[in-house]
Amino acid sequence: MERNAIRMCEILVGLPEINVLWLDDVPDKALRIGVESRRSGEVCPGCGQNARIKERPSVELADLPAFGRSVELIWRKQRWECVNPVCDVSSWTSQDPRIAPARGGMTVRAGRWATLQVGKHGRSVSEVAMDLGCAWHTVNDAVTAYGAVLIDGDPLRIGEVSALGLDELLFFRKGAWRQLQWSTCLVDVNKGKLLDLVEGRTTEAPSGWLQKRESSWRERIRYGTLDLCGTYKSVFDNELPHVTQVADPFHVIKLANAKLDECRRRVQNATMGHRGRKGDPLYRCRRLLTKAKERLDDRGSEKLVGLLKAGDPDGEVATAWKAKEAIRALYEHTNTELATQWVETLGAELKEADKPEEVKSLGRTLIRWKKQIAAWHEAQVTNGPTETMNNLIKRIKRVAFGFTNFANYRIRALLYAGKPNWSRLSEATPR
């Protein structure tokens, strides 16, 4: 049991080898605690001779809250000078990384806590800064510094990847003309982990990221998942030619629904002379058309048939609807050879001259992507985890009210969705 009042105060402050000098307790303001390190002497790093104290500068650091109040630590440091007149080292300031990193604005424990709150729990920087009673930049600098150690300083974070997913994600809208700035997500599909974010949605950035990985790491990748995007197909073709590319089933069916909707709107304008209105047959059946056939009850089926008969005189919308259902039926089995034949036959039928233009366009796409579409039946992997990572990143963007700095955007997203080893945070030291 400790009875010495000064020692009790030092224990409450909880920092290693420090002396508590004073406490400034002003109501409705942060607690200000003055401390100094217990260091009796130091030698010159240049010549090895004993040094003497030149100055005692004070540094203000944000610390963890105590007793429901924010805390400001006033660290009285020691600036030394060499007594050797011919030494090249004139003076230096002693550092103690157990208290705070060099040029840091908060204590080590406060920086690690802030990184945990912002990175793992997805809180906003301004919210954490309010809890600590410091500036936004102080917290953001700490999160960026400690986050970089967890993300880029851990060679084991990425690990082995057997299925790699690529997808685009909007970064922000720039300038008065709101130009779209994009980013590309690289995701471990099997583990559901965000590997990294790179700028842009061209081939250069993801290709450059893959080129930095070791050849043995790239060779372990078996599948590459993507939506029907030629850019990311080129990335896999050029950088990972050995992988089996898999077109995401959701996006294939989404494309079929989009073509169906295009056809419906075109026929609507051709027959009625205007966009869909409440009483128009094709407008009334727009949701029935995109619903899965097996989810339509007898009443819904009868309604759909009647509305198509009334608003689709040439049967073009009905043809597009049947094409959509045929594509959906492709995913009811897992036979790779049958899937390839299915796609080839269906694509050829949809390209026939008597089909609506939207259906012919769909057929051409099926033929162009037939290998990737049929590959799902072998791989059984999708871009679903990649879309999940996109949603997690969007959550961080909403909390932050958007980003314009890509470095901050990348670190925050990877801390939240990149599954860093949080047990390393207790030993992490900013570079």
Model pTM? 0.89
Q: Which two tokens stand for residue 20?
A: 């508590």
Mean pLDDT over each residue of the chain, to the nearest integer: 92
Q: Report domain extents, the chain.
A: 1-100, 249-379
pLDDT at 196 over 90: yes
> 119: which DSSP letter?
I
If phi > 0 it is left, if psi is from -120 to 50 it is alpha, else beta; for residue 294 that is alpha
Local confidence band at 281 (pLDDT 50, 70, 90 cut-offs) = very high
Q: Angle at which helices 336-350 and 357-368 pack, to 10 degrees?
A: 150
Q: What is the pLDDT of residues 148-183, one digit of tens each?
A: 999 999 989 999 999 999 999 999 999 999 999 999
Interval 377-408: pLDDT, tens = 999 999 999 999 999 999 999 999 999 999 99
* Over residues 300-305, mean pLDDT: 94
- Rounded distance between C-alpha atoms, residue 133 and residue 154, angstroms: 31
Separation of alpha carbons 59 and 43, rounded Å: 22
Sign for the pseudo-dihedral over CA of 206, 208, 213, 217: positive
What is the pLDDT confidence band of residue 366, given thresholds at 50, 70 and 90?
Answer: very high
What pLDDT, on a 0 to 100 scale, did the predictor assign at position 2? 62
CA distance 390 to 384: 10
| Angle formed at CA 108 by CA 158 and CA 413, multiple of 5 degrees | 35
pLDDT digits (tens, 9 = 90+) for 123-149: 999 999 999 999 999 999 999 999 999
Q: Give percent above pLDDT 70 in the chain.
A: 99
DSSP category for residue 65: E
Direct distance between the N- and C-terminal alpha carbons of the chain, in angstroms, rounded to an integer: 39
pLDDT at 249 over 90: yes
| Token pair belonging to 24 | 């400034």
Residue 1 in this model has a pLDDT that exceeds 70: no
Tally Cβ neighbours within 10 Å of residue 180: 11
Contacts of 324 (CB under 8 A, 6+ apart): 253, 256, 257, 259, 260, 289, 290
Q: What are the residue ranges of helices labelled H in 273-330?
A: 281-284, 286-290, 298-311, 316-329
What CA–CA distance (Å, rounded) separates 282 from 320?
A: 13
| pLDDT at position 428 | 87
d(CA 376, CA 246): 6
